[in-house]
Structure 1
Amino acid sequence: MSNNNKDKTELKRLRAVDRAIADLRRGLSVVVKGDGEASLVLATEMAFDPELETLATRSGAEPVLALTAHRANVLHIQPTGDDTIRLVIEDWMDAPLMRALADAVHDLDQPFRGPFTRLKEGLPPTVSAAIKLAKLGRLLPSVLAAALPIDRVADVTTEHDLSIVTIDDILAFEDTAALQLTPVASARVPLQAAENSTFHAFRPKDGGIEHLAIVVGDPNRREPVLARLHSECFTGDLIGSLKCDCGEQLRGALKAIAEEGGGVLLYLAQEGRGIGLINKLRAYKLQEQGFDTIDANERLGFDADERVFRPAAEMLRLLGFKKIRLMTNNPEKVEGLERHGIAITERVSHKFPSNTHNELYLATKKKRSGHYL
């Protein structure tokens, strides 16, 4: 396949996932297609009773409620060995209840729920892929899914103008988007901590989510440069939240890079360790109830950290940086970048004093995530 044809194929795959994400976020159903099977799915947090009825009517099958194993464990549902648990939708389970089952914020308000009937065998791969699609859309990781006969997929999608996306495209989406990153704009932006700074914006060729790189000075690409990967944090970076140390890390990194004489900071669109701002606020609510940051994420159905590091590696390569001295306390960042071909010649410690609001947050990162704090 020529590079031009390969690019067209990759863009087509990205756009299919992007459209499906947008439809899920609008409360529309989408078709997820696999090898010989398909599912009609709806994001649980966007589902209301009329949409649930439509799901059953269009598919001709009884929908199930699908949750991650993390979330099912919180609801005291026995594991099946799969990463996704499917529940039979009983007569007493309406859409508001299922939205509440997907959202851990309501757990203490409704502590006694069930009993639930789980389906133990024959998990369709399309259902697990649909949950991944919800995660990509920064929605709660839960879907309502109904089996759709493979020979009806074309008719159903055409008649109702539904998005259709394959399992492979969903699972490859983050890597595909990273490999399609392209520099689209750059400008000098003097900063308080680093006056000689240039912003570079990167965006996938399909018009997906942008990431930023801040290059301070004119660092020598032939030598390992001081660098930091920083996941965007609206609450900490912009508003000055005391619940984390993100704002201090951001400004401290820029200051250290400027004092070093140059380097690069990547500002990645991975809010809340990749779960998105709204879900991060949900996790904060759970922390108010006494759960630490990892337990909060897992109670919502997410992994402790949903971030990927290929976008950062691709941005560094596009900027000409192959070797870096990485400012981080997180061993996973070192491993993640090295896995994608970036040489880490040194890990540079990057920590700040705690306050009364983020002591537990920092202690959890050290004890449970292995951060060097």
Structure 2
Amino acid sequence: MGPAIEASIRRRVRLAAAEAVLREGGVVRIHGPDHPAVDFIALDGAGTAAALAFARSSGPTIRMVLTGARARALGLDAGSAVCVALAVPSSGGTQLLETLAGMPASSRRPIGLPTLVVEPATPAEAAAIDIAKRASLLPVLMVVPGSSRQADAVVEISKDDIDTDPMDAPLVPIVQADLPISLTETARVVAFRAPDVAYEHVALVVGKLDGVSAPLVRLHSECMTGDVFGSLRCDCGPQLQAALSRMAQDGAGVLLYLRQEGRGIGLTNKLRAYRLQEMGLDTLDANTHLGFEQDERDFRTAARMLQALGLHQVRLLTNNPEKVHTLGRHGVTVTERVPLSIAANRHNLRYLQTKRQRAGHLGLPAVNDEEAG
């Protein structure tokens, strides 16, 4: 094993340990030769009371780090910043922290929110936010200067650590097996593993790809509520089945099942977004109110999976132009975009309308007053 691989493994072990500590409500320290040390704790892991007690140890004003998306949802002037810091009076108590961390907010500042100065987050703080996202926690942290006290986990970072692209990690097929399904008995499943995550992405290969220059391909992001429980709030489950049915009819195809639940924010946060949607927000605004981007998914992984399967040209089953563009930028040519339209129901009309009008999706059912009734 070479020095570069050993260094990569050590970094990934440190990050995995930090994610686990944050989820348990512990303190993580980030330091390195290029940045002063900071200790941080996640409100979502520790709970508001414990996070407030931790932050108060540094004085009457506490430093809260959150995403620019969350700050803008609160009506704060964060410009186009990806990550910002707020100086928050500790006297505000847990209610203020909870309001800042994730309660639904309009485009105006909520009643009772004090005047807050938005400051740039440091590189170390931005890296800490990334760790919270990797742990599927709300990206809201309490930060204090690094001290001599013992943190629960220590993550040493440098500029190279912060700039490392997760797509640099190898993604390789680990095992494959025949998997007859209800739509076709000629299918096999292939599991892909990357060292930087604790789960596998999966490819379901339908039929025989030999001699097929551009097979049908579907990039399907995991959706437990739709795929498993048959949720009517989205079109994920029906799209999954429709894609497999089309591949079975064609005699060949590949469905990539990508572990990017809730547009990449994780199952728990997706359910939080559901609650915000019940309060009137649409799908995209619900994600940004929680502090995430409108869509946190990364389809570069799909391109790497297809290339590992020997596929460089595909006919893509999708209504999402971003999938087409991403595959093209990363070495997989989309020779044809094949629409995948599913009938609407009264529970997902707004969801489909949002995808069409705000996310740029194509070929979706029109929404009219008769359907809404």
TM-score, length basis structure 1: 0.88
Counterpart of 1:146?
144
- 1:217 is displaced (CA, Å) by 1.2
Give me the whole-angstrom Cα distance separating, in 1, the residues matched to 2:61 and 2:37. Answer: 14
Q: How far 1:73 sits from its partner (Å)?
A: 2.1
Give ranges in structure 1 of 5+ residues lacking alignment: none
> What is the match of residue 166 of structure 2?
174
- Show the counterpart of 1:118: 117
Confirm or deny that 1:327 pairs with 2:317. Answer: yes
Are 1:85 and 2:79 counterparts? no
Question: Which letter does structure 2 place at the counterpart of 1:174?
Answer: P
| Counterpart residue identity of residue 164, structure 1 | V
Task: Indicate the residue corresponding to 1:12 in structure 2.
Answer: 10
Check the 8 A contact 2:35/2:124 in 1, yes or no: no
2:210 to 220, 229, 242: 220
1:1-373 pair list within 5 angstroms: 4-33=2-31, 35-47=34-46, 48-54=48-54, 57=57, 63-79=62-78, 82-95=81-94, 97-105=96-104, 111-120=110-119, 123-148=121-146, 159-166=150-157, 168-172=160-164, 174-176=166-168, 179-205=169-195, 208-220=198-210, 223-373=213-363
In structure 2, what is the Cα distance between the partners aligned to 1:343 and 1:267?
19
Deviation string for 1:250-282 (max 9, x for gaps)? 011111111111111000000011001111111
> Which one has the bigger helix percentage?
1
Contact 2:28 2:152 in 1 (8 A): no
| Alignment check: 8 A CA contact 2:44 2:137 kept | yes
Instruction: Determine helix, strand or coil for the equivalent of 1:104.
Output: coil
Residue 288 of structure 1: CA displacement?
1.0
Taking the aligned partners of 2:197 and 2:262, their CA distance within structure 1 comes to 22
Q: 1:97 & 1:132 partners in 2: Cα distance? A: 23
Alpha-carbon contact 1:293-1:361 (below 8 Å) kept? yes
TM norm structure 2: 0.88
| Contact residue 62 and residue 146 of structure 1 kept, 8 A | no
Using the TM superposition, give the Cα deviation of residue 362 of structure 1 relative to its aligned residue in structure 2, in angstroms: 0.6
Aligned partners of 2:220 and 2:258 also within 8 Å: yes
Q: CA RMSD in A?
A: 2.5
**Contact 1:30 / 1:163 at 8 angstroms: preserved in 2?**
yes
Summarize the Cα distance change of 1:4–1:263 in structure 2 as closer, same or farther, 3 Å threshold: farther
Return the offset for 1:168: 4.1
User: What amino acid sits opposite 1:172 in the alignment?
Assistant: T
Q: Secondary structure in 2 aligned to 1:362?
A: helix
1:65 positional shift: 0.9
Query: Residues 18 and 208 (structure 1 numbering): CA distance in 2 closer, same or farther, change over 3 Å?
Result: same
CA gap of 1:78–1:15, structure 2 versus 1, over 3 A, is: same
| AA matched with 2:164 | A
User: What residue identity is the alignment partner of 2:154?
Assistant: S
What CA distance in whole angstroms lies between the structure 2 residues aligned with 1:20 and 1:364? 36
> In 2 relative to 1, CA 366–79 (structure 1 residues): closer, same or farther, beyond 3 Å?
same
Identity of aligned residues (%): 41
CA contact (8 A) 1:313 1:340 kept: yes
TM-fit CA distance, 1:76: 2.4
Q: The residue matched to 2:125 in structure 1 has which SS?
A: helix
Question: How much does 1:313 deviate?
Answer: 1.4
CA contact (8 A) 1:63 1:147 kept: no
